Amino acid sequence: MKVAVIGATGMVGDVMLKVLAERNFPLTELLLVASERSVGKKMTFKGKEHTVIGLADAVAARPHIAIFSAGGDTSLEWAPKFAEAGTTVVDNSSAWRMDPTKKLVVPEINAHELTSEDKIIANPNCSTIQLVMALHPLHKKYKMKRVVVSTYQSVSGTGVKAVKQLENEIAGVPGEMAYPYPIGRNALPHCDVFMENGYTKEEMKLAREPQKILDDRTFSISATAVRIPTAGGHSESVNVEFENDFELNEVRRLLNEMPGVTVQDNPDTNTYPMPIYAHEKDEVFVGRIRRDETQRNTLNMWIVADNLRKGAATNAVQISEYLVEKGLV
């Protein structure tokens, strides 16, 4: 089992390698791949030193699986080249997500749709993954009509430059800016770029990707995405209107029974999900579960996950595990 990690020197690539090692992914050969400026760099995986190679050499090596986390442009250019060489690509960028010919996969929800013909598989947006993990069991039971989500997203979702900006601001050191404004002691209602309709690209990902993953366009999602000065972990305030009524105890049970979801919900002991607890964990945490008293059949909840793990690396590795387990590669 030959596996290539494209973008191995980046923030998500680093977590990807950590997750592959932790989960003892059954690989026999690992290719660490990055842009030309990182070629030749030495990296260690499970105590063994590897030399970073370029994309052309990686395609020629014909890995069974290539996990991409190197940005949309790289994916658009190189994923088809790997696919043509017979490699199955799991892509973490937004490049292929809404392509009608590509599957958008959260393994706990729709991995069963994958076949050996799927040579480019899209990993959803980080904030989408944690949202659908909680919505899926509730939608199956009560049928969603409308979802309103506001996100509180960490700087790690932007990348190394943004993490450095926050660290510099905390230390009171001038440095390069990833954002148009300071992020420390601030909140920026601006994740990704603005689009013609006044929403950001991140907000439109949240509106569209869940419909594709759940294979249902009968519900709608309206999103506001906000960047906050936390180092890691995304949080979401979610309001869901259902066709059918629910009991809160049953909602908690359904969420608890969903693989990969953990309910943390006890106001008496101040128990609720927080990014500091989700850090370096693979679960999606759900709490503050309560009825919306202003509207029928409507639920409020708070969802938190580590955006670099289940929101990116872990989900991609789980897809790869499924491909191996089912003999699809």
Quote the DSSP letter at residue 87.
Answer: P
Which CATH fold would you assign to the domain 2-123+312-326?
Rossmann fold (3.40.50)
Query: Where does the pLDDT of residue 308 fall: very low under 50, low under 70, confident under 90, or very high at 90 and above?
Result: very high
Confidence of residue 128 (pLDDT cuts 50, 70, 90): very high
Annotated binding site for substrate: 153, 227
pLDDT at res. 77: 97
pLDDT band, residue 108 (cuts 50/70/90):
very high
Q: What is the pLDDT of residues 255-291, one digit of tens each?
A: 999 999 999 999 999 999 999 999 999 999 999 999 9
Least confident interval from 69-73, 247-251, 258-262: 69-73
Query: Is the Cα dihedral 278, 283, 288, 294 positive or negative?
Result: positive
* CA atoms of 313 and 308, how far apart (whole Å): 6
Residue 59: enclosing H or E segment and its boundaries?
A: helix 55-60
Query: What integer best gives the mean pLDDT of the chain?
Result: 97
The whole-angstrom separation of Cα 38 and Cα 41 is 6
- pLDDT value at position 200? 98
**Residue 230 has what pLDDT?**
96
Q: Quote the pLDDT of residue 312.
A: 97
Strand partners, 242: 144
For the domain covering 127-305, report its CATH number: 3.30.360.10
The amino acid at 41: K
Token output for 204: 């439109």
- Catalytic positions are 126, 234
Sequence ranges of the domains in the chain = 2-123+312-326, 127-305
Percentage of the chain beyond pLDDT 70 is 100
Q: Residues within the annotated binding site?
A: 9-12, 37-38, 97, 153, 156-157, 174, 227, 307
Which pLDDT band, with edges at 50, 70 and 90, does 326 fall under? very high
Task: Determine the pLDDT at residue 97.
Answer: 98
Task: Please give the model's pTM, rounded to 2 decimal places.
Answer: 0.97
Q: Are 301 and 286 in contact (CB under 8 A)?
A: yes
What's the Rg (C-alpha) of the chain? 20
Neighbours of 143 (CB within 10 A): 14
Whether 127-305 and 2-123+312-326 are alike in CATH topology: the answer is no
